[in-house]
Amino acid sequence: MDFVSMTFFKMMAVIVFYLFLPLAALTYYFSRRPRRLAEMDRILSKLKIDPAYRKVYEPEKLSYYLWAIAYVSMVSGVGLMLLFLGTEIGFPNGEFPTVGLDNVEFPQKGSRLVCGMAFLGAYLWGFQHVFRRYSLNDLVPSVFYALSTRMIVASVIAVVIYNAYAALAGSGDSEGGITANIWPALGFLIGMFPQRGVRWLTGRIPLFSGETNLSVKETPLEMIEGIEPHDILLLEELGIDSCYDLSNADFVPLVLRTPYGARLLIDWILQAKLCVYFGEAVKDLRHHGIRTIIELEPLTGEEMEALAKETTLTKPALERAREVVKNSPEIKRLREVGQLLGIFWKREDESPQPL
């Protein structure tokens, strides 16, 4: 294949990849977005929210989407050109220009390819995430800013790890072995999972490792049954990074800002409260059929004593958690709201449910 044909093929690939994000955003705005607004109106009406508070959740204007599309298009355009058109845009031999200092060159040969593959991994991951948010009627402008950040961060992390590998491994060979043959694939995987790349780097460089307080329970969102990585990313966009955050989150803003049903969110919140109280010990409780904190309420003293003997938990800890359930107005309110918003129809002879 000659140079002209190859360049044409590359340009077509760039155009095909490039058009997905703006087309998805515009299609969502004009076709799927009204469904999301209708659901928000239903929730606000059911809960009899103060009209002044409704202004906080006014729908995003078209200009917000256009700015988000413009930015993500710029980032994706630069990344696609780096990946497919390195030589055509003027890079010598298709490589990044290097800066030499005391017999050290940065970046090493191959950095452009690794950077481009990391970008491609993040970009393809973004396809999945954008389609999922599109299907959930939740493709807001912040999704595109978050995706842009992910593409940039993944590319930078991949280049840093690639260039640090020789020093960490005690080898400077960039012409063969793992550096030449496997790093493009590793760059792609770092793009798909940039957090794993950060963990790899922090695990090998003590400077980047943070101190942990052993007296504090680690309660990542992964502890909650039913939550997937895309759900975790959505919650993190709202500042909810752990079970502590989710267990203390205000329900009304959460149900209005996420595409999830009220009952699902309430189930996650009640699971999070159980995780906050017992940490890793929730695994023992799940083996005994206890998933959420409200399932402790009907237990008798004898049942709690038997549960304490069969798990790593103590009876006083179980009793304290049960008392919280009985005396917490928040949990009572969550139950009421879940029943109210979970009603989508009623029989003609059924009276309206009170708030």
Helix (H) or strand (E) holding 100: strand 99-101
Tens of pLDDT, residue by residue, the chain (355 residues): 566 677 778 788 888 888 999 999 999 999 999 888 888 888 888 888 777 777 777 888 899 999 999 999 999 999 988 888 777 777 777 778 777 666 667 777 888 888 999 999 999 999 999 999 999 999 999 999 999 999 999 999 888 888 887 666 655 444 555 555 788 888 898 888 876 656 555 555 555 555 555 555 678 899 999 898 889 889 988 889 999 999 999 888 898 889 998 889 999 999 999 999 888 888 888 888 889 999 888 888 888 888 888 888 888 888 888 888 888 888 888 888 887 877 665 554 555 444 3
Q: How many residues does the chain have?
A: 355
Three-state DSSP class for 226? coil
pLDDT of residue 197: 57
CA dihedral 24→29→30→33, nearest 10 degrees, is 120
pTM: 0.79
pLDDT of residue 354: 43
Q: How far is residue 133's CA from residue 231's CA, in Å, rounded to a whole number?
A: 10
Q: In whole angstroms, how far apart are CA 229 and each of 119, 282, 307?
A: 19, 20, 32
Q: Is 331 exposed, middle or buried (0-12, 13-18, 19+ CB in 10 A)?
A: buried
Residue 127 CA neighbour count, 13 Å, CB half: 12
Location of structure tokens 């508070």: 53
pLDDT of residue 173: 47
Handedness of CA 94, 99, 105, 108 (dihedral sign): negative
pLDDT of residue 27: 93
Residue 168 CA neighbour count, 13 Å, CB half: 14
Helices (H), 193-327: 194-204, 229-237, 243-247, 251-257, 262-278, 282-287, 301-310, 315-327
Q: How far is residue 85's CA from residue 79's CA, in Å, rounded to a whole number?
A: 10
pLDDT of residue 355: 39
pLDDT of residue 100: 64
